Chains A and B, each alone.
Chain A
Amino acid sequence: MDSHFLEVRNLKKYFKRTRGNVHAVDGVNFTIDKGKTLGVVGESGCGKSTLGRCVLRLIEPTDGEVLYEGRDICKLNKRELKDLRKEMQIIFQDPFSSLNPRKTVLDLIAEPIKFNKLIPNASKADIENRVLELMETVGIAERLINTYPHELDGGRRQRIGIARALSLNPKFIVCDEPVSALDVSIQAQILNLLKKLQKELGLTYIFITHDLSVVNYFSNDIMVMYLGHVVEMAPAAELFRNPMHPYTKALLSAILLPKVNGNPERIQLRGEVTSPIDPPDECRFAKRCNYLCKACSAGTPPLLEVEPNHLVACHCIKPGMNILQEQPHLISGR
């Protein structure tokens, strides 16, 4: 098998609670090729951020492998990890709380450069020049170099976050809801910037979001998560053209288009959300699924390649057989 830029195998992260373990990420597999973007979507609490942090080993996975250019980062020692960290960065959702309010733009962007001793024997001027260069790359005006985060708007603060990530010349960036807190016009500026940087620097992204039109715009492949599991994964256009998993169908049908009469009746979900604490070994979506069949409680459905490059985890959908479409009488419906 040819090697992928990133390959994640059977990744798990459980959090201990008094009542049991939260299965935040529960056996996730995927690959990303260099220069591509994997979009990760799913509802609040399904494990998107936990996945992103585990992949960078910002938190320790409970189990599984993360092969970054062929090396399992879960097996690296502290020093090896520190070296690799420079290549792997994260951009957070909240540009307000992720920046130290007492530091200026200069200090904030210089910090990772100094900490990682990126420029050997750097003078003050060397560092300032590098900061100015980064400010230009992300589009922050030079005159703002001595301002503090609270004096800037959300879009500029997010640009600082991006400049900090870029300061280490990364190859791989996890973008965790990078535009969710921003107004649409600033959101568009940041999305354009991230796309431009990807093109120019050949960056590889994991792009976490709950905004489906953003993820479609941004990703090559999309992975849909539900309570720690991947329920569907496909190239973006294919997923939007032919969503198969009942949860993906509901998710896509809930998108509201900014168009007059653009929003016909949607699939409504009912029922209770399964608790992520030691969930039973069955389909985690079953309680809310509009198509309930006997198989739903027969163990966790495996993620299968149902059509070329299109993976689905549903007991009713197998390669060459889609019970939801072909044998609706087997399904009780709700």
Chain B
Amino acid sequence: MSNESLTKSMTGGAAETGENVLEVKNLVVHYVLKKETVEAVNDVSFTLKSGRSLGLVGETGAGKTTTALAIMNLVPNPPGVIKSGTVNVCGHEMLKLKPIELAKIRGADISMIFQDPMTSLNPVMTVGNQIAESVKLHEDCSHSQAFDRAVEMLELVGIPGARASEYPHEFSGGMQQRVVIAIALACNPRVLIADEPTTALDVTIQAQVLGMMSELKTKMNTALLMITHDLGVVAKMCDEVAVMYAGRIVEKGTLEDVFNNTMHPYTEGLFNSLPKIDNRDTELKPIPGLMADPTKLPVGCSFAPRCSYATDACRARRPEDRYVSDTHMVVCTAYEDPAFHIEGWQ
């Protein structure tokens, strides 16, 4: 079955282009443990319009998944505490709703593909039935109709429909991930959060899955929040990029802003770390040091201890959001000096 039929088999109309379907404002999330507090998300704000895609990138522990869980109002509590901030999904204040109202919104307005596929699969239910259940959540149809849709969805993600009667453990990790993607897509959500959806997949299958998501975005105007640390995936899929470090967005802008006019030293470091496919001989330049410890964040800029440009001012106080154009934001104290610029990456 082709991607064309993906959109045909979708029900309901496409969303309007350009309306804000996701607004995150000043989000702060901590994990309060016995001995220490993990400051996982520290004042994160962004908006996403329908039909657009935002890539959220950053290294392990940067707070990407926690941000996504907070948007879904699924942060595990305890130990997670949403200290402040608001999340608006298609007009609903997610952090104020009752569980029963949330259940309706999750799946219909917003759905999430989790990083670890087994967390969202039920081990004792066949994959076909699981997809059918999620179809029935937002569509008024019989179980057998829903099951037919489920078989269709499975084939869309490249799994033979005949395997709908198998259980998750009979599938490989990559296949489980595709089932999770099928479940998320079956709901035809207005906002789709995909947390590292293709990390476990082979590149040729990754290409297939990303193709399906693009299709959904252009034809159904689905807004996509793509969490990844693969800058290649971002380049292919996203209109906008937000780079996260130690729970904060340190640079944000259009794909062109962040990739072609990189401003934050951390973003520069990420690019310099990547092997260049067209130049085998350049030495890789890793970012020195380790990811900041989120239980002991410094007073000043969290990246300063690893940053080759850092000055005393960087270490002394928290950097402010600085807009260098309508779309491009960078959070770096060094830019208080108008002559400051990074070395640039090739």
Contacts and interface: CB of A to CB of B under 8 A. Distances in A.
10 contacts: A153-B290, A153-B291, A184-B274, A213-B275, A214-B275, A255-B232, A257-B232, A258-B231, A258-B235, A260-B259
9 A-B pairs closest in CB distance: A256-B232, A258-B231, A217-B275, A188-B286, A188-B284, A43-B202, A254-B203, A185-B287, A188-B273
Contacts of A75: none
B34 interface: no
A250 interface: yes
Given A254-B207, A269-B204, A262 B235 contact: yes
Contact of B229 (A184, A192, A213): A184
Contacts of B286: 185-189, 192
B259 A259 contact: yes
A183 B291 contact: yes
Interface band, chain A? 35 or more
Contact of B273 (A153, A184, A254): A184
Contacts of A192: 283-284, 286
Interface of B: 59-60, 158, 160, 172-174, 202-208, 211, 229-236, 255-256, 259-260, 269-277, 280, 283-287, 290-291
A266 interface: yes
A254 B286 CA distance: 25
A131 B272 CA distance: 32
Contacts of A293: none
B195 to A, nearest CB: 16
A106 interface: no
Nearest to B159: A272
Given A216-B280, A256-B236, A266 B207 contact: yes
Nearest to A189: B286
Interface string A198-218: 000000000000101110111
A99 interface: no
Contact of B160 (A212, A237, A272): A272
A45 B269 CA distance: 33
B280 A210 contact: no
Contacts of B229: 183-184
Contacts of B211: 268
A191 to B, nearest CB: 6
Q: Is the interface of B mostly helix, strand, loop or mixed?
A: helix
B280 A236 contact: yes
A167 to B, nearest CB: 24
Contact of B204 (A237, A250, A262): A250
A193 B243 CA distance: 27
B203 A183 contact: no
B207 A257 contact: no
Given A43-B204, A217-B276, A269-B207, 18 more contacts: A43-B202, A44-B172, A153-B290, A184-B270, A185-B270, A185-B273, A185-B287, A188-B274, A216-B280, A256-B230, A256-B233, A257-B235, A258-B259, A259-B235, A259-B259, A260-B235, A260-B259, A270-B158
A218 B204 CA distance: 21
Contacts of A270: 158
A251 interface: yes
Contacts of B205: 43
Contacts of B290: 153
A134 to B, nearest CB: 21
A240 interface: yes
B33 to A, nearest CB: 16
Nearest to B62: A183
Contacts of A98: none
A233 to B, nearest CB: 18
Given A188-B284, A188-B286, A192-B286, A260 B275 contact: no
B234 A212 contact: no
Interface string A171-189: 0000000000001111111
A263 interface: yes
A33 to B, nearest CB: 18
B236 A213 contact: no
Interface centre among B160, B232, B276 (most CB of A within 10 A): B232
Contacts of A212: 203, 277
A54 B286 CA distance: 33
A240 B277 contact: yes
